[in-house]
Amino acid sequence: MNIDILSVFPEMFVGPFDHSIVRRAQDNDLATVSVHNLRRFSNDRRGIVDDYQFGGGPGMVMKPDPIFEGVETILMDLSQIEMAKTRVILTSPQGNMLTQELVVEFAQQLHLIIICGHYEGVDERVRENLITDDISIGDYVLTGGEIAAMVITDSVVRLLPGAIGSQQNLLGDSISSGLLQHPIYTRPAQFRDMNVPSVLASGHHENIKVWRRRKALERTLERRRDLLDIQNLSSEDRDYLESLGYNLNR
pLDDT band at 167 (very low <50, low <70, confident <90, very high): low
Eight-state DSSP code of residue 134:
E
**Residue whose C-alpha is closest to residue 36's, from 77, 4, 62:** 4
Q: Is residue 166 pLDDT above 80, yes or no?
A: no
Tens-digit pLDDT profile for residues 211-246: 999 999 999 999 999 999 888 899 999 999 999 999
- Percent with pLDDT over 90 in the chain: 86
| Annotation marks residue 123 as catalytic | no
pTM to 2 decimal places: 0.89
Average pLDDT over residues 146-154: 98
Q: Closest by alpha carbon to 169, among 19, 18, 24, 21? A: 21
Q: Provide the CA 199 distance to its chain's centre, in angstroms.
A: 34
Tell me, yes or no, if 120 is annotated catalytic. Answer: yes
The pLDDT-based confidence of 172 (bands split at 50, 70, 90) is low
Q: Give me the pLDDT at residue 170, please.
A: 61
Question: Catalytic one among 93, 154, 214, 238?
Answer: 93
CB 22 within 8 A of CB 154: yes
pLDDT given for residue 231 in this prediction: 85
168 pLDDT above the threshold of 60 = no
Mean pLDDT, rounded, of the chain: 93
Whether residue 82 lies in the annotated active site: no
Pairing of strands 86-97, 133-136: parallel
For residue 154, the SS3 value is helix
Q: Which of the following is catalytic: 51, 124, 173, 236?
A: 173
Active-site choice (40, 120, 214, 219): 120
Give the whole-angstrom CA distance, residue 218 versus residue 195. 20
Q: Which residues pair with 90 in a beta bridge?
A: 115, 134
- Beta-sheet strand order (sheet of 111-116): 32-37, 2-7, 111-116, 86-97, 133-136
- Residue 178, pLDDT above cutoff 90: no
93 an active-site residue?
A: yes
At 208, the pLDDT band (50, 70, 90 cuts) reads very high
What whole-number percentage of the chain has pLDDT above 70?
95
